[in-house]
Amino acid sequence: MRAIPVASAALLGVGALASCAPGVVAGHGDHYVMSVGYDVLPSTIAAGGQVSLLVDRDTSGCRGRVTVSSEVFDTVTIAPRSTRATALVARDATPGAVYRVTFMCGGLGAVKDLTIAGGRPAGPSRVPGGVHAGAGGSSSGFDLGDVALGAALVAGSLGAAYRFTRRRTASDGA
């Protein structure tokens, strides 16, 4: 009868670890989107400009042909032994708009954003002196106290799970 508490503790641990994983995989239609190993350079360009479409064969795991598409340029194919191609951005692309660029290799795809330079960005208006962002993953806000608190919470959770799975009841014959 100990299988249920052990399974519950295991699922709780897996859920906690999964919630901490980086968001490199996201749902996109019927495919999973792997954002690692694919890139559009530059990521911001003027209408009518030329972008490089890159695939890192080692990081992406893609060994076959890569099809790259977007509503702002014609579909491009990167050959299996190649790592790059170029695309010409439409001259009538909307300044400030962000277009989705989709890389497809087999049944997997990656999505990157391509911003058209000039004009105001699409979406909410900017607030002068707004939020400082972009430091994610860097050591700019590293606080040893936060790390220690997180470690203590994880250790406490594991200890409690162990204690509850090892606890005996009177019906166990203890």
* Rounded distance between C-alpha atoms, residue 148 and residue 22, angstroms: 20
For the chain, which ranges sit under pLDDT 70? 1-35, 119-142, 168-174
pLDDT for 44-86, tens place per residue? 999 999 999 999 888 878 888 999 999 999 999 999 889 999 9
pLDDT score at 59: 81
Is the overall model pTM greater than 0.95, yes or no? no
What residue ranges in the chain does DSSP mark as E strands?
25-28, 31-34, 38-41, 44-45, 50-55, 66-70, 73-78, 84-88, 98-105, 108-116
What domains lie within the chain, and their CATH numbers? 36-119 (2.60.40.1930)
Best CA proximity match to 97, nearest among 27, 45, 51:
45
pLDDT score at 140: 52
Contact between 64 and 73 (Cβ < 8 Å): no
pLDDT score at 20: 46
Q: What share of the chain is helix, strand, coil (3-state, %, to 5)?
A: 30, 30, 40
pLDDT score at 21: 42
pLDDT score at 118: 81
Q: Are strands 50-55 and 84-88 parallel, antiparallel or unpaired?
A: antiparallel
Q: For residue 23, count CB atoms less than 10 angstroms from its CB and return exposed for 0-12, middle for 13-18, buried for 19 or more.
A: exposed
